[in-house]
């Protein structure tokens, strides 16, 4: 009973906290004050934020059970966002290949040591080793930002021992349990540690997961920006802070995807087999053999 009371108490506190935060934006967006930066860091990976986000989805789920368009509408918005992000950043794969080819030609054939690009007329010159190491960023973008898109498209590998032989509604129960007990907790843990991992490479003094609010407010007196710009080689890629940002993007997108999958499974459980893959926006290959191969895998 105490655990249930704790959960619903925090759920209500999280929901009311949304309005408190919106009514006092300067308290967490005015970064001219070190105390506000530390407040933003603390609440960015707090139980308050978790329950604030969770309360929104709980309300949408409960309302959606009785007003089905709300449930399906939420699913379509999240899946549409995942598809849009994934389809856009999937082009990073092509960019990675083209850049690698360019590096090989300039380095091996023309013996060039630098590459200069001028977006919007602003010259940007870096050593070839910088662009070579940057290729890892494109790969990380594909992994972190296309994971939800791949999930929507059914592209993740499934190790299936019992699932295929289950009844339709039993499958949906398994899907809902998997979303709530496996995907969501994992993404929350990744966000929690990734959040402080990112900020440790952005400010001094360093912050930690174990820091209390009062401890962070004490550190705010000596806060200064110190964004990581150290590369693995003297002239190599020096924006590794972007990898820390991508960890958070991965966790956030998968947390949303877990809720969308839970809500889709719930809607399909209620409406039955005829609603399977309802409103699902899947890519088509326009090739029967390729489509069959994709379904097998």
The total of structural domains in the chain comes to: 2
Domain for residue 295, yes or no?
Answer: no
- Is position 289 within any domain? no
Position 201 in a domain = yes
Range of 136's domain? 91-145
**Looking at the structure, do residues 86 and 98 belong to the same domain, yes or no?**
no
% residues pLDDT > 70 (the chain): 96
- Flag whether 294 is in a domain: no
On whether both 9 and 28 belong to a single domain, the answer is yes
pLDDT of residue 80 exceeding 90, the answer is: yes
- Check whether residue 96 and residue 17 sit in a common domain: no
Domain boundary among 113, 145, 177: 145
139-188 per-position pLDDT tens digit? 999 999 999 999 999 887 777 778 888 999 999 999 999 999 999 999 99
- In the predicted model, is pLDDT for residue 284 greater than 90? no
Question: Is 286 part of a structural domain of the chain?
Answer: no
Domain co-membership, 54 together with 116: no
| Residues 126 and 175 grouped into a single domain | no
Residue 297's pLDDT band (boundaries 50, 70, 90)? low
**What percent of the chain is predicted at pLDDT more than 90?**
61
Claim to verify: residue 8 and residue 129 sit in the same structural domain = no
Domain membership of residue 74 (yes or no) is yes
Residues 237, 256, single domain; the answer is yes
Mean of the pLDDT values across residues 267-293? 81
Q: Last residue of some domain: 103, 119, 145?
A: 145
Highest mean pLDDT among 87-91, 109-113, 276-280: 87-91
CA distances from 257 to 90, 99, 115 (A): 18, 31, 39
Q: Which residue has the tokens 């870096």?
A: 126
Q: Which long-range contacts (CB under 8 A, 24 or more apart) does 265-268 make?
A: 265/172, 265/173, 265/175, 265/176, 265/179, 266/61, 266/64, 266/65, 266/71, 266/172, 266/176, 267/64, 267/68, 267/71, 267/72, 267/75, 268/168, 268/172
- The answer to whether residue 15 sits within a structural domain is yes
- Pairwise pLDDT comparison (97 vs 289), residue with the higher score: 97
Q: Would 283 be classed as within a structural domain? A: no
154 vs 60 pLDDT, higher one: 60
Query: Do 159 and 65 belong together in one domain?
Result: yes
Q: Is the same domain home to 129 and 257?
A: no
The reply to whether 40 and 123 lie within a common domain is: no
In contact, 203 and 37? CB cutoff 8 Å: yes
Predicted pLDDT at 70? 95
85 shares a domain with 177: yes
Whether 26 and 79 share a structural domain: yes
Determine the pLDDT at residue 293.
56
What mean pLDDT value characterizes the chain?
89
pLDDT of residue 91: 95
Is it the case that residue 289 has pLDDT exceeding 70?
A: no
Rounded mean pLDDT, 188-209: 94
**How many CB atoms lie under 10 A from the CB of residue 198?**
22
């Amino acid at each position: 009973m105490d655990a249930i009371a704790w959960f619903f108490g925090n759920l209500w506190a999280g929901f009311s906290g949304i309005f408190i935060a919106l009514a006092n934006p300067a308290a967490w967006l005015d970064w001219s004050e070190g105390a506000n930066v530390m407040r933003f860091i603390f609440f960015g990976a707090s139980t308050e934020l978790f329950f604030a986000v969770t309360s929104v989805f709980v309300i949408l789920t409960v309302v959606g059970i009785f007003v089905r368009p709300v449930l399906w509408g939420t699913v379509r918005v999240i899946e549409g966002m995942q598809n849009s992000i994934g389809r856009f950043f999937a082009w990073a794969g092509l960019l990675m290949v083209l850049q690698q080819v360019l590096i090989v030609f300039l380095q091996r054939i023309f013996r060039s040591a630098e590459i200069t690009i001028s977006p919007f007329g602003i010259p940007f010159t870096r050593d070839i080793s910088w662009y070579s190491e940057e290729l890892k960023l494109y790969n990380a973008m594909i992994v972190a930002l296309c994971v939800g898109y791949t999930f929507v498209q059914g592209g993740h590998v499934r190790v299936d021992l019992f699932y295929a032989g289950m009844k339709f509604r039993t499958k949906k129960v398994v899907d809902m349990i998997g979303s709530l007990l496996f995907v969501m907790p994992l993404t929350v843990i990744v966000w929690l540690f990734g959040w402080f991992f990112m900020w440790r490479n952005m400010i001094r003094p360093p912050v930690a997961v174990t820091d209390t609010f009062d401890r962070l407010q004490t550190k705010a007196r000596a806060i200064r920006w110190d964004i990581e710009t150290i590369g693995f080689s003297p002239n190599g890629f020096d924006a590794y802070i972007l990898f820390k940002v991508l960890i958070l993007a991965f966790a956030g997108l998968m947390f949303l995807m877990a809720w969308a999958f839970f809500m889709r499974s719930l809607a399909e459980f209620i409406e039955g087999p005829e609603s399977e893959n309802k409103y699902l926006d899947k890519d088509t290959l326009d090739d029967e053999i390729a489509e069959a191969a994709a379904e097998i895998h």
